[in-house]
Structure 1
Amino acid sequence: MAKITIIGGGIGGLCTAYALQQRGYNVTLCEGAGTYQSLGAGLGIGANALKALEKIGLKQQVMEHSKVLRKMIIMSDQGKPITETDSLMVSERFGTDNVTIHRADLLLALRNALKPGTIVLNKRCVDFVQEQNGVTLSFEDGETISSDAVVAADGINSIFRRKLVPGSTPRYAGYTCWRAVIPVNDIVIDDLVATETWGPSGRFGIVPLAGGKIYWFACVKAKARDSRIAKYSITDLLSIFNDFHRPIPQIIQATDQESLIHNDILDIKPIQHYAFGRIALLGDAAHATTPNLGQGAGQTMEDAYVLARCLETAGDLVMAFKEYERKRLGRTKKIIKMSNQIGRIAQLENKGLILLRNFVLNKVPPTANMKRFEFLYDVDWD
């Protein structure tokens, strides 16, 4: 069986490694970091991604750490509902749930599923050369190794994409984001409902997690790489969101400065190819998207299953990678575009446009809203 090297030990690399091992491939996963740390915040796993995890064989491990949500509500800064999505409707129609999970818990579950020795830490790939029968990889520690094929799951700043698709640099979405995970304690929330609050000064999300915790995020329009904003404290964030409805100010006040994570929101303009001979781009390396559809991790999980399935059914590695590309290009491009559009609408600052937006969204029937996003869940990768 072919030797496949995966570059990148994030969600995509881990899911792909497991899926390929289940099909008998000799897999090595190279991760640049020297250790795995329990960092990160929360994330959503949509019904489509749970389907992919089920097909890979990882759903049970992930669900043990997940929180099932029943509803997603978008509200005004004064707490008035604008629109909502009923997850029960999704469950009844497509047979699976929308869930949330702490990123660290997800990564731990995925790592534990792999065969011992699969992951090589402190192994940062710095260059590669593709030949007719394989790929030679060069690492920061000076070692070079040869592999029959490479899955590049090395994130939005992928060295593989930069070399194979010149000019495909990350683009700034126009807003920056803070995230944190805190215990619920005496904060009053509905732990079956995720909310987003859209106001003129920014956007605030509250997402219940398992274990009595809350994941929250705050997005504000800003210049890219603004060093002043990067230094914002809890007090600064409270000044932005202090007039938002309860419990938003209380959640910010309950957050320790040390637990705050900040980064600009980026994506990648859709590229035309994910397969390059014996190299396949996967996850954020191929199609990084803004988080507005909650599909970043989910699309990576779909990639893992589709790639493994194509290797199972195609005649050779190169054909399998091209088939994977064919199956994934259109769907991921659509998600990047739609997520980008939602972000622009959500981050409106003009109060007149905000009133118009809220009025229009409030008039959309739930069934029409479901129809618009049906393509996310009604998917058949086989």
Structure 2
Amino acid sequence: MSDYSHASAIVVGGSIGGLTAALLLRELGFTVDVYERTPNALDGRGSGIVLQPDTVRWFSERSTQDLADLSTSTKYVQYLDRSGDLVYREECTWTYTSWGTFYRALLADFGTEHYHYGEYACGFSQDADRATVRFVSGRTESADLVVFADGVTSVVRERFDADAGLRYAGYIGWRGTFPLRDLDPATQDILHDAITYDVIPNSHITMYPIPGETGLELQDRLMNYVWYRNVPAGPELTEMLIDKRGFPGAVSVHPGQVQDRYVAEMKAAAAELLAPAVAEVVTATEKPYLQVLADVRSSKMAVGRVALIGDAACAARPHAAAGTAKAAADGWALAAALQEAGGDIAAALTKWEPAQLQLSDSLLRRVVAMGERSQFTNTWTPGDPDLRFGLYGPGH
């Protein structure tokens, strides 16, 4: 056991992975400050999260908040065809939350006294004893440990691995939510208790119910979906990612900012290609948005007393529903290594790094293979156990 009661830590990035790490470091005794680049509370744009053991472990083991107050669940996994017929169904319970619900719960446990908005970290330096973070505002802050959890567009990733750049997957994800209560009753009946897939040539969509802003009850829930559609790299993609203000998007185009012609084409295609219940959700969405599917993996996650975790270290396509679980797992493993390290932070990071690199490598290989099957080789078959969610493997 190590005593870190006189040690300090900086976490860059105040999202789910960063907050989980910050909470665990504080439990070890660190004085922890979180620096978030956005000027206001994060909202996650209404996205859903499939909850996995590492993601919810803080609430299962440490928090006074009840996970049941933050999540919804479904009993089945099902596949529908174009006519709306059920082509596969199995009993398989999964739980979900909305990104905003989960973020707010973690922030409530961490508090806002040491949570700093509007600070964009742009670099760091270190010596044998301390690491110093530089911010675009001109601010600098030093600590015994620095954890970068600054997401898929991490500005420091190249300091760990100069060759770790985003690689476009060849397809995008159309995302959105729509109130379950506002759907046709027959559609509600089909969708409310399942993860629903609809697989069509070179594409697939998945949807499931998540908590709404007003609560967890059935009438409060939102149907959340991701529809994966191929868009070739080059001018077509570049044009699609220019938002209504004329700004190019690198990894997403936000709700309300996708050019109307692309939204109209997407909804027309949904009506033509997807099962009626699935298409109803998609076509009814007022402000769908775009996510660029890309992969990146740094070959290093530790440099001295500075760590790289979550999407900053490895961003993988969401087919395994494991992104937030991976970020949380990085944090839990880091806390365990620090606890065993006798106070030697750099040694703890050196010990922590190999297993997390291996985990990110195996996850990335798996989701790339899943994406190839659905988008390019048309070998995504309903009910295949290799296609199940899981951080450590299908269903795990």
Structure 1-normalised TM-score? 0.85
Q: Any residues of structure 2 matched to 1:169-188 within 5 Å, and which?
A: 169-184=165-180, 185-187=182-184, 188=187
**Residue 299 of structure 2: aligned partner:** 272
Question: What's the offset of the Cα at 1:73?
Answer: 2.7
Which of 216, 231, 234 is matched with 1:222 structurally? 231
Q: Unaligned regions of 5+ residues in structure 2, if any?
A: 1-5, 212-219, 242-258
1:328, 1:283 → 2: CA distance?
A: 10
The alpha-carbon distance between structure 1 residues 82 and 331, as it changes in their structure 2 partners (threshold 3 A), is farther
Question: What's the offset of the Cα at 1:12?
Answer: 0.7
Q: Any residues of structure 2 matched to 1:316-335 within 5 Å, and which?
A: 316-335=344-363
1:328, 1:127 → 2: CA distance?
A: 23
Question: What's the offset of the Cα at 1:5?
Answer: 0.4
The alpha-carbon distance between structure 1 residues 241 and 370, as it changes in their structure 2 partners (threshold 3 A), is closer
2:97, 2:233 → 1: CA distance?
A: 29
2:122, 2:52 → 1: CA distance?
A: 36
Question: What's the offset of the Cα at 1:66?
Answer: 1.1
2:111, 2:152 → 1: CA distance?
A: 27
**SS of 1:242 mapped into structure 2:** helix
Q: Unaligned regions of 5+ residues in structure 1, if any?
A: 89-97
**SS of 2:335 mapped into structure 1:** helix
The alpha-carbon distance between structure 1 residues 62 and 42, as it changes in their structure 2 partners (threshold 3 A), is farther
CA contact under 8 A between 2:363 and 2:392: conserved in structure 1?
no
CA contact under 8 A between 2:82 and 2:276: conserved in structure 1?
no
Identical pairs, percent: 20
Question: What's the offset of the Cα at 1:75?
Answer: 4.2
Amino acid at match of 2:198: T
**SS of 2:45 mapped into structure 1:** coil
**SS of 1:194 mapped into structure 2:** strand
**Residue 199 of structure 2: aligned partner:** 198
**Residue 331 of structure 2: aligned partner:** 304
CA contact under 8 A between 2:52 and 2:390: conserved in structure 1?
no
1:296, 1:149 → 2: CA distance?
A: 24
Amino acid at match of 1:186: L
**Residue 215 of structure 2: aligned partner:** none
2:389, 2:104 → 1: CA distance?
A: 35
1:59, 1:83 → 2: CA distance?
A: 39
**SS of 1:341 mapped into structure 2:** helix
How many residues are treated as equivalent by the alignment? 356
CA offsets, 1:211-234, max 9 Å, x none?
A: 321112222100247144343443
When the two chains are superposed, the root-mean-square deviation of aligned CA atoms in Å is 2.6
1:111, 1:344 → 2: CA distance?
A: 37
Q: Which moved more, 1:120-129 or 1:64-73?
A: 64-73
Question: What's the offset of the Cα at 1:52?
Answer: 3.1
**Residue 41 of structure 1: aligned partner:** 46
CA offsets, 1:213-265, max 9 Å, x none?
A: 11122221002471443434432112222222111221123211xx3221211
Question: What's the offset of the Cα at 1:281?
Answer: 0.6
1:171, 1:110 → 2: CA distance?
A: 31
Structure 2-normalised TM-score? 0.82
Q: Which moved more, 1:280-289 or 1:47-56?
A: 47-56
**SS of 2:103 mapped into structure 1:** helix
Amino acid at match of 1:240: A
Which of 250, 271, 278 is matched with 1:248 structurally? 278
**SS of 1:9 mapped into structure 2:** coil
Q: Which moved more, 1:224-233 or 1:149-158?
A: 224-233
CA contact under 8 A between 2:206 and 2:225: conserved in structure 1?
yes
**Residue 32 of structure 2: aligned partner:** 27
Amino acid at match of 1:318: A
